[in-house]
Amino acid sequence: MFGRLVVDVLFVFSIDGTDNHQRELQELKAAAQTIVDSIGLARESGSSLVDRLQRAPQKFAEYLAETSRNCVAQDLGLVKSYWPSAKIAILGDGMCSKCNHDQFDKYVKEAKPVADQIVKVIEQ
């Protein structure tokens, strides 16, 4: 997505300065700026919009990783609030070796409605 936008911006730069192309360039700049602003790259001064847009996929991946980390920590905190003696460190190794993938899928499906409830609480 981001790569295509950069290509489109560069393509418009290479075309003569007709009104239609200038308008399209302004629309592409506005779209690129929206993406850059939404992931916090706008605060980085001294670099061009194209440079910041090219870094957008990495920043977005970092955002997703941090969000995932926060969600998992929230859920593990909920587990500890009910079972303070639970040894959650072993969860970092993945699913139990005695659990097969079909069983694990069943547990995940069972957990999804509870996950929805937790997300609703967090959103409030």
Q: What is the pLDDT of residues 45-58, one digit of tens each?
A: 678 888 888 888 99
Residues 18 and 65 in one domain: yes
Q: What is the mean pLDDT of residues 93-120?
A: 93
Residues 15 and 44 in one domain: yes
29 neighbors 49 (Cβ within 8 angstroms):
yes
Q: Which residue has the tokens 């929206």?
A: 34
Residues 63 and 123 in one domain: no
Residues 58 and 7 in one domain: yes
Where is pLDDT greater, at 49 or 12? 49
pLDDT of 62 > 80? The answer is yes
Residues 26 and 78 in one domain: yes
39 neighbors 60 (Cβ within 8 angstroms):
yes
35 C-beta neighbours (distance < 10 Å), count: 19
Counting the structural domains of the chain, the total is: 2
| pLDDT at res. 9 | 56
122 C-beta neighbours (distance < 10 Å), count: 10
pLDDT band (50, 70, 90) for residue 4: low
Residues 74 and 35 in one domain: yes
Domain hosting 52: range is 1-86
What whole-number distance in Å separates Cα of residue 123 and Cα of residue 107?
Answer: 24
Residues 81 and 108 in one domain: no
Q: What is the mean pLDDT of residues 63-78?
A: 91
- What percent of the chain is predicted at pLDDT more than 70? 82
pLDDT band (50, 70, 90) for residue 77: very high
Question: What six digits make up the tokens of 69?
Answer: 């980390």
pLDDT of 108 > 90? The answer is yes
pLDDT of 80 > 90? The answer is yes
Residues 101 and 65 in one domain: no
What whole-number distance in Å separates Cα of residue 9 and Cα of residue 87?
Answer: 52
pLDDT of 114 > 70? The answer is yes
